[in-house]
Chain A
């Protein structure tokens, strides 16, 4: 009896190949690779080191925030405030440095702002029971308004004594000529992936998204973890803001406008489910890459930039469509 059981168990265990084919991230990655191959033949300018440098760097800001967003979405929440938080954190950094403080003080102030906003969102959602959509929609408005107040709606492009350090942080390429933001992105992806797969915190984040009542019943600290993921999401927006400030060399009050939608699109394309319970760090990265490749290629192929939204939106819907088809098959 025992041996018969073991045999069926071995037979029915999914093979590695089948697992890869059932993985949305794999298909999106394939789409990115195929698009890149196609573009290298179809255009002269795609496969140049300058363009690849641009693509990788442009994708990073969306990707870094998508990592934080992935955690929120896995718990079954959403964070609409990230674009505005990016703007506010950039502005806090800029204003603090502009008034003569060092880069360390500027970054500390910026990170503290992000954590404070994340904690505010998280506490209202986890302890007061507000819907995440409403709280973060409110914060979308508040954070951008505060950025305007902080800067009096001006452009800041002088960052005091540590001006050059900040520009090097965001615009340099300290390692093998890879743009610094890309290195941060890779490091953060590895970190997020590690937490999700190998730690109890990661396991609990998935459990909360799968069945919040069950998670509570087994003694998982659901509320503190929910506050935590909104803090991480805001922090990821803050980090992206700091890096982007260094890269752009100037901060206006409209940076990051509408970025939350790109970030959510990247997360969903990468396999996260807005109903909660699924999503990966690699998925967020690959989703952000696909969006950037689409944007870049439209430009290179000479297609009117107005079409960008159609293509990105189409990719988002297509990704979810694949997911639906797969679930259909599984339930049959």
Chain B
């Protein structure tokens, strides 16, 4: 059974048809590269999965049962986590504080519950080690490299039992060395059996880490094939419209 199954989903904003009649499915431990030009509907599609937008038509199924999401927090409760393009981190807080933001661990009971710094540092450290990232839980995010910041944002998805992680352009604004670091993190998620949707403009990243690629153009899905059966040239043609359908 597919972890995520989207059937005939559409979204329009007034007269604008952002996504039309898209279906796709995603297995556990699979990395899906979602590609397309600006305005192709990638972000809208992902925002529907993340609970930011409600689909105009169509259904989303998680492990076989249909879910209806009204707010991002509900998606999160279902194990769907999103890593935003701008990462949404607080620079003035430590890595651990960011990882647990909004879901702090506390000790004590009743009204006397206080933040459990020790447990949060330890757990965050474990997650960073699992991600094989050289990020230290006590460091302020302000002092971190782009790759480390990405690790913090990804670690945030791992404190809960995430089933699906949606990543919006995680490699857009960072250096070459840090890109390698982020792709490494994505493989780490995959190895834990998490399904990953990777929105990216960067062809090499998708071909490096994804198992499958889905190409969107003008709100429609124009291709959905295993990485091994396609090439960067073909995908480029699909994105621009030089090739009609894959």
Chain A residues with a Cβ under 8 A of chain B: 1-2, 5, 8-9, 12-14, 197-200, 203, 206-207, 209-211, 213-215, 217-220, 277-278, 330
Contacts of B103 in A (CB 8 A): 218
Contact of B92 among A12, A210, A217, A330 (CB under 8 A): A210
Q: How far apart are the CA atoms of A209 and B97 in the complex, in Å?
A: 14
Q: How far is the CB of A288 from chain B (nearest CB, A)?
A: 23
Give Cα A31–Cα B71 distance, bound, in whole angstroms. 51
Does B84 sit within 8 A of A, measured CB to CB?
yes
Instruction: Flag if A13 contacts B136 (CB, 8 Å).
Output: yes
Q: Please state if A277 and B101 are interface contacts (CB–CB under 8 Å).
A: no
B243 at the interface (CB under 8 A from A): no
Contact B101 A198 (CB under 8 A): no
In contact, A9 and B115 (Cβ under 8 angstroms): no
For the residues of B in contact with A, the DSSP-based class is loop
Q: Which residues of A contact B143 (CB under 8 A)?
A: 330
Contacts of A14 in B (CB 8 A): 138
Set of chain A residues within 8 Å of B92, measured between Cβ atoms? 206, 209-210, 277-278
- Please state if A200 and B101 are interface contacts (CB–CB under 8 Å): no
- Contact between A211 and B129 (Cβ–Cβ < 8 Å)? no
Chain B, 98-119, contact with A by CB distance < 8 Å: what is the 0/1 string? Answer: 0001111010000000110000
* Count of A-B residue pairs with CB < 8 Å: 69
Distance in Å: Cβ of B162 to nearest Cβ of chain A: 15
CB contacts (< 8 Å) of A198 on chain B: these are 114-115
Min CB gap A137→B, angstroms: 26
Q: Is B89 an interface residue (CB 8 A)?
A: yes
- Is there an interface contact between B129 and A2, defined as CB atoms closer than 8 Å? yes
Residue of B nearest to A213 (CB): B88
B17 interface hit (Cβ, 8 Å): no
Whether A219 lies near B97 (C-beta < 8 A) is no
Q: B72 in the interface, Cβ–Cβ < 8 Å?
A: yes
Nearest Cβ distance between residue A183 and chain B, in whole angstroms? 23
26 example contacts (A-B, Cβ-Cβ < 8 A) are as follows A1-B132, A2-B129, A9-B134, A14-B138, A199-B114, A199-B115, A203-B115, A206-B90, A206-B93, A207-B97, A207-B101, A209-B92, A211-B89, A211-B90, A211-B91, A213-B86, A214-B88, A214-B90, A214-B101, A217-B84, A217-B88, A218-B101, A218-B102, A218-B103, A277-B91, A277-B92
| Bound CA–CA A2/B131 (angstroms) | 11
Whole-angstrom distance between the alpha carbons of A59 and B115 in the complex?
31
User: Contact between A203 and B91 (Cβ–Cβ < 8 Å)?
Assistant: no
Report whether A207 and B90 are in contact in the complex, using a CB–CB cutoff of 8 Å: yes
**Cross-interface CB contact of B104 among A200, A214, A278, cutoff 8 Å:** A200
At the interface, is chain A mostly helix, strand, loop or mixed? helix
Contact assessment for B90 and A9 in the assembled complex, using a CB-CB cutoff below 8 Å: no
- Look across to chain A and name the residue whose beta carbon is closest to the beta carbon of B87: A214
Q: By the criterion CB–CB under 8 Å, are B129 and A203 in contact?
A: no
* B side interface size, CB within 8 A: 27
User: For the complex, what is the distance from the CA of A214 to the CA of B90, rounded to whole Å?
Assistant: 7
The distance in angstroms between the C-alpha atoms of A27 and B114, with both chains bound, is 29
- In whole angstroms, what is the CA distance A278 to B26 when docked? 43
- With A12-B136, A203-B104, A209-B92 given, can you name 15 additional A-B contacts, CB distance below 8 Å? A9-B134, A9-B136, A200-B115, A203-B93, A206-B93, A207-B93, A207-B101, A211-B89, A213-B86, A214-B88, A217-B72, A218-B88, A218-B101, A219-B102, A220-B101
Q: How far is the CA of A203 from the CA of B86 in the complex (A)?
A: 21
Query: Once the chains bind, are B89 and A214 in contact (CB under 8 Å)?
Result: yes
Shortest beta-carbon contacts, A-B, top 5: A210-B90, A277-B92, A218-B102, A214-B88, A210-B92
Whether, in the assembled complex, B73 has its beta carbon less than 8 Å from a beta carbon of chain A, the answer is: yes
Shortest Cβ distance from residue A195 to the other chain B in the assembled complex, whole angstroms? 10
Give the residues in chain A near B102, CB-CB below 8 Å: 215, 218-220
With both beta carbons as reference points, the residue of chain A lying nearest to B143 in the complex is identified as A330
Residues of A within 8 A of B136 (CB): 9, 12-13
Q: What distance in Å separates the Cβ of A14 from its nearest Cβ neighbour in chain B?
A: 8
Interface string of B135-175 (1 = CB under 8 A from A): 01010000100000000000000000000000000000000
Contacts of B104 in A (CB 8 A): 200, 203
CB proximity of A273 to chain B, nearest CB, Å: 9
B115 engages A210 (CB within 8 Å):
no
B114: chain A residues at CB < 8 Å are 198-199
Shortest Cβ gap from B152 to chain A (Å):
11
The interface residues of chain A lying within 8 Å CB-to-CB of B129 are 2, 5
Q: Which of B73, B97, B125 contacts A203 (CB 8 A)?
A: B97
Give Cα A220–Cα B129 distance, bound, in whole angstroms: 27
Closest CB in chain B relative to A120 CB, distance in Å = 28
The reply to whether A13 and B115 contact each other, CB–CB distance below 8 Å, is no
Q: Which residues of B contact A1 (CB under 8 A)?
A: 132
